[in-house]
Structures are given as C-alpha cells and as structure tokens.
C-alpha cells in the first residue's frame, strides 16, 4: 500500500492508542512485522507540548520505519500548527484523529465528535493539508451513532481535501467498543473513494484480517487492542496473508526474551520511576493468557525498581520453562 511517497511493506498497521503505542511499543511492533506504527495522539493545544509526557511523544527523527504521528483537536489553525510542529520533530505522515470516542475528548468537540459537523471537518482537513508537505491521513468511525452513519460523506470530504489515506473503525461513537464492529460501511467507503482505505475494529486473528480485507476490499487492516500483549500478531497476519501460513504460537523462550527486552526498553526510555509503572500494564497483557499467574501479577505490581522487575520476570519464566503447554497465544 502506498501513502504519498511511502510504500508499506505489509498491509498490517499498528493503531494509535493513548498510553500504549509509545516509541518502545511501536518499534517492537515494527520488528514483529507491522507495516507502519502510528504514534499516540498529540494534542493540538501548544500549551501541552512541553510537558514531560509530550516531550517523550514528540521526537521521532531517529526512529526506524515510516513515522506517522497522530494529532487531536478541533481548531483548524491549531491543528495546522500542530501538524507543522510534528513534521519539524520528525513526522513523515500526519494522521488526524476524528475517531476517538472518549468522553473527555468529545466534550471538547474533538475526536469522533467532529463527525457531527462535516463543515468543520472540511475546515480542519483543508488547514492541515495546506500546512504541511508530508502526506495527511485521517482516522474516523462510521458515524456519531447508528442513526447517523455518515462515514461515506466524511470519506468523500477527506478525498476532496487531499487526504492520502483513510482509516475507518467499524463502530459509531455511540457504540464505543461494545458489540461487534460492522464492515458494511467500510465496504461502502472503499467503493466511494479512490484513496487507500484501512479497515479497523475487532481484527484479532490472521483469519479475521483476511476475511475483512476480502469483504471490504480495503487496502490494509489496522490492529489495536489485539496487539496488546501479543505484538507477534503482526508477523502472524503477514505470513497468513502472504503465504496462507497457519499462525504458529511463539515459543516460551521467544516470549521470555521479548518481554524482558520490552520491559528493559521501557525502563531506559522513561527512566526507572516511570518505566517501572508503564511496564506493569504491558506485563499484565503478556501474561494474561498464562495460567495461574494472578499471584505473580499482584507481586509484580508491587515492585518499585527496575532490577526487581527484571529478576521477577526471569524467575517466573524460568519456572515455566518446561511447561510450555501453559502458553495459549494462538
């Protein structure tokens, strides 16, 4: 799939997820086979740019892979300013968030709330596309609620404004993450526009990815929650799509090495105090499919320094070394 001058070597993309798709996780997913990994959303309000959290999110110049950075806001001029700033910080693609369903975001008329105002959508798209020379992409939901699925209308506005690719999550804002994603709207959007369309929502296995691509005609799929605790899903989907290869579970040794590497990278990236805290949720996701780990997780969450976390993980995996039947990653 092509986005402006950039060619993705895999049609499987890591979704932007606040508090999750930080640099360590993006780089890991790229190595595991993702064709692109989109950053956590950056707020358009410049008053937020110099916080410690934002500084960790902002700089991308020495990252591997195609550097796509998502921005969030509702003011066209501030969104344009944010796009320019992120390009200066190393972004090669600017992705606009019009899909976030979080109440605190929608109360500020940002994220999926914008789908209620197509005129403002067009203003924002025009402003951002005009502000930067890099490709601009857009992520949306199918509409505000099931009675107002205006995804096709928004998709056409995006194409007219010069957006180079569109990601569609197969739920409305009102659906949040409840029920099942629907793909009819994504199929209709793909038929209505010529730019690449990326399907998103409930794609959690290689077979599901293949089925969604076949049904919608989409150019790629985007994986979000299904990548938490199993970044190898990108490798599995890629092999299935390219070679019809049945997914194989990683060995316990592979999981051990990957978890330890990820946790060490978090410690290094954030520093010990924050890194230890970020590591807890990722370790919980990695281990949630391993039987009888509740006691370990409670103890792990009580640890407060990096060396203790690494020692605990080594001990835990060493105990399991001869019991790989406890792993159920596929």
Phi, psi (degrees; rounded to nearest 5) at 311: -65, -40
Match 């970020």 to its residue by tokens.
278
Reported residue count of the chain is 330
Residue 200 CA to residue 112 CA, distance in Å, equals: 15
**304 exposed, middle or buried (CB, 10 Å; 0-12, 13-18, 19+)?**
exposed
| CB proximity list for 11: less than 8 A, separation 6 or greater | 1, 35, 213, 219, 220, 221, 241
| The one catalytic residue among 29, 74, 100, 175 | 100
Distance, CA of 97 to chain centre = 12
Active-site residue, 29 included: no
Decide: 108 and 118 in contact? Cβ < 8 Å. no
Decide: 189 and 151 in contact? Cβ < 8 Å. yes
Residue 271 CA to residue 53 CA, distance in Å, equals: 12
Annotated catalytic residues are: 100
């Amino acid at each position: 799939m092509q986005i402006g001058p950039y060619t993705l070597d895999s049609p499987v993309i890591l979704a932007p997820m606040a508090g999750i798709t930080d640099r360590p996780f993006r780089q890991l997913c790229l190595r595991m086979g993702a064709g692109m990994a989109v950053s956590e959303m950056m707020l358009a309000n410049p008053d937020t740019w110099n916080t410690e959290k934002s500084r960790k999110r902002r700089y991308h110049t020495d990252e591997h892979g195609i550097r796509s950075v998502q921005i969030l806001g509702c003011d066209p001029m501030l969104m344009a300013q944010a796009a320019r700033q992120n390009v200066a910080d190393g972004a090669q693609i600017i992705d606009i968030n019009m899909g976030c369903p979080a109440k605190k975001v929608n109360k500020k008329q940002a994220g999926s709330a914008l789908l209620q105002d197509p005129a403002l959508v067009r203003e924002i798209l025009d402003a951002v596309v005009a502000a930067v020379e890099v490709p601009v992409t857009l992520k949306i939901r199918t509409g505000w609620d099931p009675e107002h699925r205006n995804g096709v209308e928004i998709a056409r506005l995006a194409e007219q404004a010069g957006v180079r690719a569109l990601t569609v999550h197969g739920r409305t804002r009102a659906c949040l993450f409840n029920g099942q994603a629907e793909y009819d709207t994504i199929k209709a959007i793909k038929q209505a526009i010529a730019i690449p369309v990326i399907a998103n929502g409930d794609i959690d296995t290689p077979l599901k990815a293949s089925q969604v691509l076949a049904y919608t005609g989409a150019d790629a799929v985007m994986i979000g929650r299904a990548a938490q605790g199993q970044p190898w899903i990108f490798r599995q989907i890629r092999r299935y799509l390219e070679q019809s290869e049945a997914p194989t579970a990683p060995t316990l040794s592979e999981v051990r090495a990957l978890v330890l590497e990820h946790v060490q990278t978090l410690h290094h990236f954030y520093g010990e105090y924050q890194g230890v805290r970020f590591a807890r949720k990722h370790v919980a996701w990695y281990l949630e499919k391993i039987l009888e780990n509740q006691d370990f997780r409670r103890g792990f969450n009580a640890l407060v320094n990096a060396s203790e976390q690494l020692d605990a993980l080594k001990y835990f995996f060493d105990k399991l070394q001869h019991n790989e039947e406890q792993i159920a990653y596929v």
